Structure 1
Amino acid sequence: MTRQFQPRFLSGHRAWLPSLLFLLMASLLTAQSAAAQSLPDFTGLVEENSAAVVNISTVTERDSQRQQSPFSDRELEQMPEFFRRFFEGPQSPYGGPSRPRRSMGSGFIVSEDGYVLTNNHVVEGADEVIVRLNDRRELPAEVIGTDPRSDMAVLKIEDDEPLPVVSIGDSSTLKPGEWVFAIGSPFGFDYTVTSGIISAIGRSLPSENYVPFIQTDVAINPGNSGGPLFNMDGEVIGINSQIYTRSGGFMGVSFAIPIDDAMNVFQQLRDDGRVARGWLGVLIQEVNRDLAESFGLSRPRGALIAEVMPDSPARQAGLEAGDIVLSYEGEAIERSADLPPMVGRTPIGEAAKLTILRQGEKRTIEVEIGRLPEEEGAASAQDEPSGAAGGPLGLEVEPLPDQLASRLDISGGVLVTQVGRGPAFQAGIRRNDIITELNRQPVTSLDDFRAAVEALPDDRAVSVRIIREGRATYLVMKP
Structure 2
Amino acid sequence: MPLSVPAFPRPFAALGLASVLSLVAGGAVRAEPAVLPHPAATAPVAPVPGASAPARLPAPGRGAPDSFADLAARLLPAVVNVSTTETVKPGDGDGGDEDGGGEDAPQIPNFPQGSPFEKFFHDFMNRQHGPDAAPRKMQALGSGFIVDPSGIIVTNNHVIRHADQITVTLQDNTVLKARLLGHDDRTDLAVLRVDSPHPLPSVTFGDSDRARVGDWVLAIGNPFGLSGTVTAGIVSSRGRNIDQGPYDDFIQTDAPINKGNSGGPLFDMQGEVIGINTAIFSPSGGSIGIGFSIPSAEARGIIDQLRRTGKVSRGWIGVRIQDVTQDIADGLGLKAAHGALIAGVEPKGPAANAKLQTGDVIQSLGGKDIDGRALPRLMADVPAGQVVTLGIWRHGRTLAVPVTVGALPEDMSDQPAPKPEAKPQGSVQLKGLGFTVGAIDDVARQKYNLTEGQKGVVITATAEDGPAADRGLHPGDVITEVQQSEVAAPADLRRLVDAARAQHRRSVLFLVQNGDGLRWVPFPLGEENGK
Q: TM-score range by the shorter chain?
A: 0.7 to 0.9
Counterpart residue number, 1:445:
489
Counterpart residue number, 1:20:
none
Task: Look up the SS of the partner of 1:208 in the other structure.
Answer: coil
The 1-side partners of 2:238 and 2:81 are apart by: 27
> What's the Cα RMSD here?
3.2
The one of 323, 326, 339 aligned to 2:375 = 339
State the shift of 1:439 in Å. 3.0
The one of 160, 163, 166 aligned to 2:203 = 166
The 2-side partners of 1:66 and 1:366 are apart by: 49
Give the counterpart letter for 2:410 in structure 1.
E
Give the counterpart letter for 1:89 in structure 2.
P
Is there any run of 5+ residues in structure 1 with no aligned partner, and where? 1-27, 78-83, 379-387
The 2-side partners of 1:176 and 1:164 are apart by: 30
* Number of residue pairs the alignment of both structures matches: 426
The one of 408, 411, 424 aligned to 1:372 = 408
State the shift of 1:72 in Å. 9.6
Q: Which has more radius of gyration?
A: 1
Contact 2:345–2:357 under 8 Å retained in 1: yes
The 1-side partners of 2:137 and 2:378 are apart by: 41
Contact 1:439–1:463 under 8 Å retained in 2: yes
Counterpart residue number, 2:53:
none
Counterpart residue number, 2:87:
61
Q: How does 1:111-190 map to 2 (within 5 A)?
A: 111-190=148-227
Give the counterpart letter for 2:440 in structure 1.
L
Counterpart residue number, 1:297:
334
The 1-side partners of 2:452 and 2:70 are apart by: 61
Task: Look up the SS of the partner of 1:451 in the other structure.
Answer: helix
Task: Look up the SS of the partner of 2:488 in the other structure.
Answer: coil
The one of 196, 200, 218 aligned to 2:233 = 196
State the shift of 1:74 in Å. 4.9
The one of 230, 236, 242 aligned to 2:267 = 230
- Cα separation, partners in 2 of 1:110 and 1:434, compared to 1, 3 Å: same
The one of 413, 436, 439 aligned to 1:399 = 439
Counterpart residue number, 2:398:
362
* Cα offsets for 1:367-408 (capped at 9, x unmatched): 111111236799xxxxxxxxx956554433333348979957
The 2-side partners of 1:175 and 1:88 are apart by: 43
- Cα separation, partners in 2 of 1:175 and 1:377, compared to 1, 3 Å: farther
The one of 63, 66, 79 aligned to 1:38 = 63
The 2-side partners of 1:470 and 1:65 are apart by: 30
Q: How does 1:66-105 map to 2 (within 5 A)?
A: 73-74=97-98, 88-90=105-107, 99-105=136-142
- Cα separation, partners in 2 of 1:105 and 1:427, compared to 1, 3 Å: closer
Contact 1:66–1:90 under 8 Å retained in 2: no
The 2-side partners of 1:376 and 1:251 are apart by: 40
Is there any run of 5+ residues in structure 2 with no aligned partner, and where? 1-38, 43-59, 109-120, 129-133, 415-427
The 2-side partners of 1:65 and 1:424 are apart by: 42
Please tell me whether residue 454 in structure 1 is matched to residue 498 in structure 2: yes
The 2-side partners of 1:275 and 1:408 are apart by: 37
Contact 1:55–1:190 under 8 Å retained in 2: yes
The 2-side partners of 1:141 and 1:49 are apart by: 21
State the shift of 1:349 in Å. 1.0
- Cα separation, partners in 2 of 1:230 and 1:166, compared to 1, 3 Å: same
- Cα separation, partners in 2 of 1:426 and 1:238, compared to 1, 3 Å: closer
Task: Look up the SS of the partner of 1:452 in the other structure.
Answer: helix
Contact 2:362–2:391 under 8 Å retained in 1: yes
Please tell me whether residue 418 in structure 1 is matched to residue 461 in structure 2: yes
- Cα separation, partners in 2 of 1:146 and 1:342, compared to 1, 3 Å: same
Please tell me whether residue 49 in structure 1 is matched to residue 85 in structure 2: no
Contact 1:54–1:106 under 8 Å retained in 2: yes
State the shift of 1:75 in Å. 6.2
Give the counterpart letter for 1:199 in structure 2.
S
Contact 2:497–2:508 under 8 Å retained in 1: no
The 2-side partners of 1:65 and 1:434 are apart by: 39
The one of 260, 271, 289 aligned to 1:252 = 289
* Cα offsets for 1:183-225 (capped at 9, x unmatched): 1000111110011111222222311222421111111100000
**Structure in which a larger fraction of residues adopt helix:** 1
The 1-side partners of 2:265 and 2:434 are apart by: 55
- Cα separation, partners in 2 of 1:205 and 1:375, compared to 1, 3 Å: farther
Counterpart residue number, 1:327:
364
The 1-side partners of 2:81 and 2:329 are apart by: 49
Contact 2:319–2:346 under 8 Å retained in 1: yes
Task: Look up the SS of the partner of 1:341 in the other structure.
Answer: helix
Counterpart residue number, 2:12:
none
Give the counterpart letter for 1:117 in structure 2.
V
State the shift of 1:145 in Å. 1.2
State the shift of 1:352 in Å. 1.3
Contact 1:356–1:362 under 8 Å retained in 2: yes
Give the counterpart letter for 1:51 in structure 2.
P
Q: Which sits farther off after the overlay, 152-161 or 324-333?
A: 324-333
Contact 1:72–1:103 under 8 Å retained in 2: no
Contact 2:358–2:484 under 8 Å retained in 1: no
The 2-side partners of 1:394 and 1:168 are apart by: 54
Give the counterpart letter for 1:281 in structure 2.
G
The 2-side partners of 1:270 and 1:360 are apart by: 46
Task: Look up the SS of the partner of 1:163 in the other structure.
Answer: coil
The 2-side partners of 1:415 and 1:50 are apart by: 60
Contact 2:87–2:135 under 8 Å retained in 1: no
TM-score, normalised via structure 1 length:
0.81
* Cα offsets for 1:76-128 (capped at 9, x unmatched): 79xxxxxx96x653489896566411100000111111111000000000111
Please tell me whether residue 214 in structure 1 is matched to residue 251 in structure 2: yes
- Cα separation, partners in 2 of 1:176 and 1:74, compared to 1, 3 Å: farther
- Cα separation, partners in 2 of 1:72 and 1:158, compared to 1, 3 Å: farther
The one of 513, 516, 520 aligned to 1:467 = 513
The 1-side partners of 2:394 and 2:170 are apart by: 56
The 2-side partners of 1:344 and 1:448 are apart by: 38
Counterpart residue number, 1:3:
none
State the shift of 1:162 in Å. 1.0
